[in-house]
Amino acid sequence: DIQMTQSPSSVSASVGDRVTITCRASQSISSWLAWYQQKPGKAPKLLIYTASSLQSGVPSRFGGSGSGTDFTLTISSLLPEDFATYYCQQAHTFPFTFGPGTKVDI
Amino acid sequence: QVQLQESGPGLVKPSQTLSLTCAVSGGSITSGDYYWSWIRQPPGKGLEWIGYIYYSGSTYYNPSLKSRVTISVDTSKNQFSLKLSSVTAADTAVYYCARVDGFRYYFDYWGQGTLVTVSS
């Protein structure tokens, strides 16, 4: 299986901050990476697919980049509703695997 | 707007079979552009992909669960189902159903999730 790691595991931030989360794959996955946001008690929500494509309806303050093994999710200016846990997911090889998550809190 | 809704028992005894159904509304499960998937999340932990099914009935399962998992589809009811046999406490989790883009393999619509506890 392709192992996904994320760093940091948690980050404390304030409204208006720029936040960057890193996701690394154990082998090259080209651009087959998605990012999800999950709030407590809710299902994950798709933010980004194919590493940098913004899902319809997702605010433009969310951005994704990277290819191969290293990827980043950037929130350009944090809003109160962005405090959540963020997961990456590789879509290159079965079985699909997720990163362990990065919690963004105050 | 596609909506997915999981249903099934919230408590299952050890060694028994967990059974869940996902009802799809707002779109047809026979759309050839999508797969239909199950994902689970143990309390306080990360996400694990269980497997998916195409409307034709073809499936792919996570090898870690393959010996115990069956996913089936009922196109007449626009729903798909999960069976997980020989459950233990380690199978306690929130179970989500989700739609999978058939070309880029991301999960774009999710059900709200249902907690299944394995306990005697």
Answer whether A7's CB lies under 8 Å from A101's CB. Answer: no
pLDDT (tens digit, 9 = 90+) per residue, B57-83? Answer: 999 999 999 999 999 999 999 999 999
Taking the mean position of all CA atoms in its chain, how far away is CA A24?
11
pLDDT (tens digit, 9 = 90+) per residue, A5-39? Answer: 999 999 999 999 999 999 999 999 999 999 999 99
pLDDT band at A106; cut points 50, 70, 90: confident
Q: What are the chain B neighbours of A49 within 8 Å (beta carbons)?
A: 101, 104, 106, 108
Q: Tell me whether A31 touches chain B (CB under 8 Å).
A: no
B29 half-sphere exposure, CB direction, 13 A CA radius? 26
Instruction: For B65, name the nearest residue in chain A, comparing CA atoms only.
Output: A95
Answer whether B23's CB lies under 8 Å from B77's CB. Answer: yes
Check CB contact under 8 Å for B110 and A45: yes
Instruction: For B37, name the nearest residue in chain A, comparing CA atoms only.
Output: A96
